[in-house]
């Protein structure tokens, strides 16, 4: 059986004035995989992810989700379609509780007129869902679901962001540098969480500059260079220094036949 990608980009172009951030970029994500996206600073990784997650509209090209073309005019539209993104600068509200953060922008209302007319929140339902989700992902070291996010450690915050993405991302979870600001122990926990999310069947796109992390968890590595996909490699067949050499242009990439 031919494996079909769940998410694709073909020929994405994005220009910012004279800068071409995406220069006919292609991308393929397959069901159930962790696809790492690596590339030098300014290679266009974030621009590609922003196009996929509805944060920017590409000037040209096509994005498909489950074989159908999609046009996300905002991050909300991408989320509604099942694509959740954990951004580098976490979009959590520090003063709000863990449960409130989990449901930010899609709060559960009370049933009946209390919810539909008076917009009253069903806090009990939100706290229960939040608690279920966090314990499902082994995050119940967080004692109190009503605790403000600003009182959590960096790793715990990242955990809440990952749990939120896993809870609502029905099709794809995208993580932009999820371990960049974390210590060794916290990074480890977040990597385990990423693997948990994969075990639960969700494909993950992991943008990272951290080669050991990438090589540890990725099934395939998409190497981005000068605004487009250069090649996709199997981490079992190449070393980290190979990957860095392809990424920086120090070494020619393998034959495109391996790129699929």
Ligand X SMILES: Nc1ncnc2c1ncn2[C@@H]1O[C@H](COP(=O)(O)OP(=O)(O)OP(=O)(O)O)[C@@H](O)[C@H]1O
Contact residues for ligand X, defined by CB under 6 A? 16, 19, 21, 39, 41-47
Least distance (Å) between residue 205 CB and ligand X: 13
Least distance (Å) between residue 176 CB and ligand X: 8
Give the whole-angstrom CA distance, residue 160 versus residue 152: 10
3-state SS string for 135-154: HHCCCCCCCCCCCEHHHCCH
Considering beta carbons, is residue 195 or 226 the nearer one to ligand X? 226
Question: Order of strands across the sheet with 204-207?
Answer: 83-86, 172-176, 204-207, 34-39, 220-225, 228-233
Range list of β-strands (E), 66-194: 68-70, 83-86, 172-176
Considering beta carbons, is residue 52 or 149 the nearer one to ligand X? 52
- At 199, list the tokens: 């075990």
Considering beta carbons, is residue 75 or 168 the nearer one to ligand X? 75
Least distance (Å) between residue 197 CB and ligand X: 22
H or E stretch at 61 = strand 60-65
Least distance (Å) between residue 59 CB and ligand X: 13
Whether residue 61 contacts residue 70, with contact meaning beta carbons closer than 8 Å, is answered with no
Considering beta carbons, is residue 37 or 193 the nearer one to ligand X? 37
Least distance (Å) between residue 88 CB and ligand X: 8
Whether residue 65 contacts residue 171, with contact meaning beta carbons closer than 8 Å, is answered with yes
């Amino acid at each position: 059986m031919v494996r079909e990608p769940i998410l694709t980009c073909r020929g994405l172009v994005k220009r910012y004035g004279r800068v071409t951030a995406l220069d006919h970029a292609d991308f393929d994500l397959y069901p159930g995989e962790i696809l790492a996206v690596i590339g030098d600073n300014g290679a266009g990784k974030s621009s590609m992810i922003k196009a996929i997650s509805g944060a920017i509209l590409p000037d040209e090209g096509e994005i498909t989700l489950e074989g159908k073309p999609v046009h996300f005019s905002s991050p909300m539209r991408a989320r509604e379609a099942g694509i959740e993104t954990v951004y580098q600068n976490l979009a959590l509200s520090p003063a709000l509780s863990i449960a409130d953060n989990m449901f930010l922008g899609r709060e559960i209302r009370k049933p009946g007129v209390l919810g539909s007319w008076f917009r009253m929140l069903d806090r009990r339902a939100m706290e229960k869902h939040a608690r279920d989700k966090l314990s499902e992902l082994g995050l119940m070291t967080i004692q109190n679901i009503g605790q403000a996010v600003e009182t959590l450690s960096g790793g715990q915050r990242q955990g809440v962001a990952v749990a939120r993405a896993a809870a609502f991302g029905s099709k794809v979870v995208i993580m932009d540098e999820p371990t960049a600001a974390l210590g060794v122990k916290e990074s480890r926990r977040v990597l385990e969480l990423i693997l948990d999310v994969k075990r639960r069947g969700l494909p993950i796109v992991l943008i990272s500059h951290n080669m050991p992390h990438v090589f540890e968890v990725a099934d395939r590595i998409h190497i981005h260079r000068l605004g487009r996909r250069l090649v996709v490699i199997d981490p079992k067949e190449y070393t980290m220094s190979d990957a860095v050499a392809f990424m920086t242009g120090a070494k020619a990439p393998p034959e495109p036949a391996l790129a699929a």
